[in-house]
Each structure stands twice: as C-alpha cells, then as structure tokens.
Amino acid sequence: MDISQIVTKADIEKLKEEIFAELNRIRFHGQKISVNKQWLKSYEVCQLLSISKGTLSTYRQNGTLRYTRIGGLMYYKYEDIAILMDNR
C-alpha cells in the first residue's frame, strides 16, 4: 500500500461536509417554493424543512429559528432557514 493513498479522518470529515452541502442544495432546488424570496410564511418553512407545524412552533419557542410577526402571520428569513439547515 502506497502512503499517498491513506485516507485521514480530516479527509472523511471534508467528504461528509461536501455530501451534506450537496444534499441541502438538491433539497432546496427540488422544492416548489421560490428560494429567491427573502421572507417565507410558516407553511412554506414547514414544506422546505419537511417539518410539522408543531416542530416549527418548538423552533420558535426555543429560539432555534427567529421570526417576525406581522398582524396574525409569522414570517421567517430565508437566510435563517439556510443556516438552520447547515447546522442540522
């Protein structure tokens, strides 16, 4: 075995990060929701993250996902959702 063919732990971690990034890109790309929007409504966030309304409520309550309430509707910044996906 040639020493240049040994895979290090750092190599595996880098590969893992690249795979997750690609899966997230594919996941966002396949959604019907336009990711060009700056603000998303609750139902759009649930679809995008594949979570229930209850899970979204938990994310709001524990501060995992920031939101803005306007009237009776809650809006979420797309940037915050992308960060949440990266941290998952």
Which domain CATH number covers 57?
1.10.1660
Cα three-residue angle 40-42-44, rounded to 5 degrees: 60
Residue 33 has a pLDDT of 52
Structure confidence at residue 86 (pLDDT):
78
Which structural domain, as residue segments, surrounds residue 41? 8-87
How many other C-beta atoms can be found within 10 angstroms of the C-beta atom of residue 12?
10
Number of structural domains found in the chain: 1
> Is 1 domain-assigned?
no
Mean pLDDT, residues 36-44: 87
Determine the Cα–Cα distance for residues 24 and 75; give it in Å rounded to an integer: 21
pLDDT of residue 81 exceeding 70: yes
| 70 assigned to some structural domain | yes
Q: Which of 6-20, 42-56, 70-84 has the lowest mean pLDDT?
A: 6-20
Confidence bin at 6 (pLDDT 50/70/90) = confident
> What percent of the chain has a predicted confidence (pLDDT) above 70?
80
